[in-house]
């Protein structure tokens, strides 16, 4: 076949060739920068705190991370689909408050779990329907949910705490304080829950149709629709799953604090969860992200706040630090994208 | 305009073109897509600085550094795409960037509304200046766009396909306004693909081809046929596609009867296994909407049968996919690929939706499918985990075609499949289309490029204003015929 126009000389990635060490290094820096920052942070923390690598400290970090961690995993899904959920803190307070009432009434942790999980799914479904069927931007739909859930729980609790009855106090508290003994190491339940949840989310996002579709919707809704993806179902599912995670997190939160204060429980959790997702390298515009990144992001977040506590920084300032983390992480992402 | 040259990098878009326009004259500018019409007009409107040449207005050379300068000199450009902000009101749009202000620097809303109403009144357009533009019909928006040019004193108004969304009556009103302005000494450059309109409103013509001025003269001395030939130029050299074999089998895979929807009406055709149907038409002919409707992405009325079973409007894309219908969308970047995802994930998207029965996605199986298509379609790619954006446009398109082949599609809708693809790969795609036809796939190619249609199509439906204006058999598919029927030249005087 003779062509009048010279064939384009193929250059760049279309030619099969070996990847150089330099390229691999660049790839690691750009795609796994969260691992590098995690290692850096651990080094800093270890120099500040000489007990950093003690099992007590490590397991404690996991225990402190678990509640935010579960929420952040859901948030990763929502953000990967190009959405946002700022109602998670209020959802935890709402579900946790009523969950304590259910526990006090029935005395059964299982009944409480059914209630918190079910309510979480319901709140998530409302968010999802407002966004898909209602055609609302997710920040508006979940802003409304944030206000409504907090206000209702405040009304029923008159702003005060929902306290676990003395009768169930000790058994219920076991969830947060207890653990499994393996070769003399006490592994807290919270640590197991967080790690198992991370593995489940990682598998879902990497190896299931739902996971692939979430990234597809977050990357390009039109293409996704033209490839047969039911965009509305995918978006709504991410909110439902986040609601479910808030439900489970609410139970764990109640177990840890044994009292859910209507007006102050889980405040600013949305900020912390989004910050963890951001430092984990998930694109805030959707389409790209790693569950393992979020996992490390949550841990980094706790390590930073522990360093701050050790340095006697006022707890009132944690919000400022979380916000700074979000801004820096997203600026770095933008900087990386511009280089590509 | 004297001796204008515009280079975009190594590409010469406009090649030593000189045109002259007298006061009070309406001139038609003709040429195929990509002939350089818009580029030349953008020079005149101050949007592009020419590499060479000058613009002389009223005897003195002028530097048109931006659109504002051009506007001050009385040159107005009515763009082909509607450049309106949907959320603003009509008068706010018309005065955007040139708002009238009171001495206090506050907006003089009352005067703006009055002047806007006058301008619309001259067009006899019944549009409320305070209506929000988003609530207007496409035709009304086009009228607003035109009225914008009347707001300010103009000497030359450039209209780039102003009538695409207008009905015949509205076009007549537009012409009426143009004639009235012409009496006041206003000149027009009128760009259109619609022959009947050009012959009605314009006195003289300029024809551009491949960036060069190839003909000029008076419309009175030519007819539709000769001007169409001027636009195409010499018959293109025969190529390997000329010994065309028709692979059409008797089995009907898709049957459309009285198909209508937003933008198209009463479309009928039968698509057989092994057949390649091309559907062509100008921008706004309903071609795009028909393509989306055939894939279930837009609602339609009428009967659409796929493999003997009727598919209903409103059933989703996935049910079309399950019947074996595939779509390679136009505007690949915006509608075809997922920028953030890997080559493998992009390639696997259709299979998981149409065929897979489990919620799990197996990477080894996905890799096997990808490797099969990579070899079959000779896709040049390094690592399937690389982002899809690392591939050239042609290879991206092959990934999309491959993903449908893995989804076992046997009806392929290819919507403008060679958009933004270099010539060499274009030919590969044409051979691929013919090869697929040989393997008894049924194919619909939506295209606006006559050479492309000639290479692949067994039959061509030519659309004009939402209807099928002509059905051309293989030996009737010529560039002349395609242009003739897609511009509605056969309907003149009817």
Burial of residue A198 (CB within 10 Å: 0-12, 13-18, 19+) is buried
**Nearest CB partner across the interface for B359, out of A3, A209, A228:** A209
CB contact under 8 A, A226 and B297: yes
CATH second-level architecture of B2-232?
3-Layer(aba) Sandwich (3.40)
**Nearest CB partner across the interface for A226, out of B327, B348, B382:** B327
Q: Using alpha carbons, select from A71, A75, A329, A340 the residue that is nearest to residue A214.
A: A75
* Ranges of each domain in chain B: 2-232, 249-491
A vs B, Cβ pairs < 8 A, gives 115
Same fold, B2-232 and B249-491: yes
Q: Quick one: pLDDT at residue A133?
A: 95
Q: Which residues of chain B have pLDDT under 50?
A: 235-238, 494
Helical pair A55-80 and A269-279, crossing angle rounded to 10 deg: 90
| Average pLDDT value over all residues in chain B | 84
- pTM (2 d.p.): 0.77
Q: Quick one: pLDDT at residue A201?
A: 97
Q: How far apart are CA A189 and CA A20, in angstroms?
A: 44
Q: How far apart are CA A38 and CA A265, in angstroms?
A: 28
Give the residue, B381 or A121, on which the prediction is more confident.
A121
For residue B82, what are its two tokens?
């509607």
Chain A CB contacts of B341 under 8 Å are: 215-216, 219, 287
CB contact under 8 A, B334 and A210: no
| Average pLDDT value over all residues in chain A | 88
Residue A15 confidence class, pLDDT cut points 50, 70, 90: very low
Helix and strand element counts for chain A (H, E)? 14, 4
A83-106 tens-digit pLDDT: 999 999 999 999 999 999 999 999
The residues facing B260 across adjacent strands are B301
Q: Report yes or no: A76 and A277 within 8 Å, Cβ to Cβ.
A: yes
Residue A19 confidence class, pLDDT cut points 50, 70, 90: low
Q: Report yes or no: B288 and B415 within 8 Å, Cβ to Cβ.
A: yes
B window 273-332, beta carbon within 8 A of A = 295, 297, 316-318, 321, 327, 329
Q: Report yes or no: B318 and B363 within 8 Å, Cβ to Cβ.
A: no
Q: How far apart are CA B178 and CA B329, in angstroms?
A: 38
Q: Quick one: pLDDT at residue A213?
A: 93
Q: CB neighbours of A135 closer than 8 A, spacing ≥ 6?
A: none
Helical pair A33-48 and A291-310, crossing angle rounded to 10 deg: 20
Q: How far is A254 from chain B (nearest CA, A)?
A: 34
A35-61 tens-digit pLDDT: 888 898 899 888 888 888 999 999 999
Domain B249-491 has CATH 3.30.1600.10: no
Residue A120 pLDDT more than 90? yes
ipTM (interface predicted TM): 0.79
Q: How far is A173 from chain B (nearest CA, A)?
A: 37
Q: How far apart are CA A220 and CA B318, in angstroms?
A: 17
Which residue of B339, B344, B354, B361 is the best one to mutate when testing the A interface, meaning the one whose CB has the most A CBs within 10 A? B361
A128-185 tens-digit pLDDT: 999 999 999 999 999 999 999 999 999 999 888 999 999 998 999 999 999 998 888 8
Instruction: Please check whether residue B354 touches A, CB under 8 A.
Output: yes
**Nearest CB partner across the interface for B341, out of A14, A209, A215:** A215
Residue of B nearest to A217 (CA): B338
Q: How far is B362 from chain A (nearest CA, A)?
A: 7
Which residue of A14, A27, A208, A228 is the best one to mutate when testing the B interface, meaning the one whose CB has the most B CBs within 10 A? A228
Chain A CB contacts of B401 under 8 Å are: none
B window 52-111, beta carbon within 8 A of A = none
């Amino acid at each position: 076949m003779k062509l009048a126009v010279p064939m384009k000389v193929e250059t760049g990635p279309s030619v099969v060739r070996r990847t150089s060490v330099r390229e691999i290094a660049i790839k690691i820096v750009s795609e796994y920068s969260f691992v590098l920052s995690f290692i850096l942070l651990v080094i800093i923390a270890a120099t500040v705190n000489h007990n950093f690598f003690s099992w007590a400290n490590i397991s404690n970090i996991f225990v402190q991370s678990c509640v935010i961690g579960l929420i952040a995993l859901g948030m990763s899904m929502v953000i990967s689909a190009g959405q946002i959920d700022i109602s998670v803190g209020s959802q935890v307070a709402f579900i946790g408050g009523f969950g304590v009432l259910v526990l006090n009434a029935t005395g059964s942790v299982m009944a409480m779990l059914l209630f918190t999980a079910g309510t979480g799914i319901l709140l998530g479904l409302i968010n999802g329907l407002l966004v898909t069927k209602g055609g609302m931007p997710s920040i508006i739909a979940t802003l409304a949910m944030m206000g409504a859930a907090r206000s209702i729980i405040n009304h029923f609790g008159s702003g005060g705490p929902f306290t676990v009855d003395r009768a169930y106090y000790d058994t219920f508290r076991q969830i947060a304080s207890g653990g499994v003994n393996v070769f003399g190491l006490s592994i807290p339940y919270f640590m197991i829950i967080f790690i198992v949840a991370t593995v489940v989310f990682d598998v879902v996002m990497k190896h299931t149709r739902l996971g692939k579709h979430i990234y597809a919707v977050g990357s390009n809704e039109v293409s996704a629709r033209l490839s047969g993806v039911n965009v509305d179902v995918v978006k709504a599912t991410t909110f439902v799953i986040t609601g479910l995670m808030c439900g489970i997190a609410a139970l764990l939160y109640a177990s840890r604090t044994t009292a859910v204060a209507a007006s102050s429980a889980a405040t600013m959790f949305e900020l912390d969860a989004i910050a963890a997702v951001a430092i984990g390298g998930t694109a805030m515009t959707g389409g790209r992200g790693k569950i393992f990144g979020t996992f490390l992001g949550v841990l980094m977040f706790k390590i930073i706040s522990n360093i701050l506590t050790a340095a006697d920084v006022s707890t009132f300032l944690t919000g400022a630090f979380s916000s700074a983390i979000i801004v820096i992480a997203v600026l770095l992402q933008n900087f990386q994208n511009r280089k590509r | 305009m004297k001796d204008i040259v515009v280079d975009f990098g190594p590409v010469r878009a406009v090649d030593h073109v000189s045109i002259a326009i007298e006061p009070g004259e309406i001139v038609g500018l003709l040429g195929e897509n990509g002939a350089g019409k818009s580029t030349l007009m953008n020079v005149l409107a101050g949007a592009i600085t020419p590499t060479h040449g000058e613009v002389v207005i009223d005897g003195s050379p002028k530097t048109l550094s931006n659109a504002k300068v051009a506007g001050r000199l009385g040159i107005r450009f009515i763009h082909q795409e509607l450049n309106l902000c949907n959320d603003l009101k009509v008068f706010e749009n018309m005065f955007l960037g040139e708002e009238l202000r009171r001495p206090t620097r506050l907006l003089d809303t009352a005067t703006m509304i009055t002047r806007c109403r006058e301008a619309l009144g001259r067009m006899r357009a019944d549009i409320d200046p305070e209506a929000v533009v988003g609530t207007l019909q496409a035709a009304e928006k086009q009228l607003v766009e035109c009225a914008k040019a009347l707001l300010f004193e103009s000497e030359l108004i450039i209209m780039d396909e102003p009538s695409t969304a207008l009905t015949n009556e509205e076009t007549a009103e537009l012409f009426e306004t143009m004639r009235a302005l012409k009496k006041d000494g206003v000149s027009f450059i009128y760009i259109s693909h619609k022959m009947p309109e050009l012959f009605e409103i314009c006195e003289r013509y300029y024809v551009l081809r491949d960036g060069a001025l190839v003909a000029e003269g008076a419309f009175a001395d030519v007819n539709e046929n000769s001007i169409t030939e001027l636009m195409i130029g010499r018959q293109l050299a025969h190529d390997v596609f000329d010994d065309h074999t028709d692979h059409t089998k008797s089995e009907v895979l898709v049957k459309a009867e009285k198909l209508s929807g937003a933008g198209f009406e009463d479309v009928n055709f039968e698509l057989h296994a092994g057949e390649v149907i091309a559907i062509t038409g100008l921008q706004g002919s309903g071609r795009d909407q028909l393509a989306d409707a055939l894939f279930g992405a837009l609602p339609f009325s009428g009967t659409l049968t796929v493999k003997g079973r009727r598919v209903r409007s409103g059933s989703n894309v996935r049910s079309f996919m399950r019947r074996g219908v595939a779509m390679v969308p136009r505007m690949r970047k915006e509608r075809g690929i997922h920028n953030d995802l890997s080559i493998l994930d992009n390639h696997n998207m259709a299979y998981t939706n149409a065929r897979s029965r489990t919620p799990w996605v197996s990477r080894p199986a996905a890799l096997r499918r990808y490797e099969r298509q990579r070899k079959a379609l000779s896709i040049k790619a390094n690592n399937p985990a690389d982002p899809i954006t690392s591939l050239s446009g042609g290879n991206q398109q092959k990934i999309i075609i491959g993903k449908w082949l893995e989804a076992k599609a046997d009806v392929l809708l290819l919507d403008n499949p060679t958009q933004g693809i270099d010539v060499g790969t274009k030919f590969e795609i044409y051979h691929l289309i013919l090869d697929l036809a040989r393997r008894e796939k049924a194919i619909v190619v939506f295209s606006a490029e006559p050479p492309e249609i000639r290479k692949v199509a067994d039959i061509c439906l030519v659309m004009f204003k939402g209807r099928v204006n002509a059905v051309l058999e293989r030996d009737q598919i010529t560039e002349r015929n395609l242009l003739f029927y897609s511009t509605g030249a056969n309907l003149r005087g009817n």
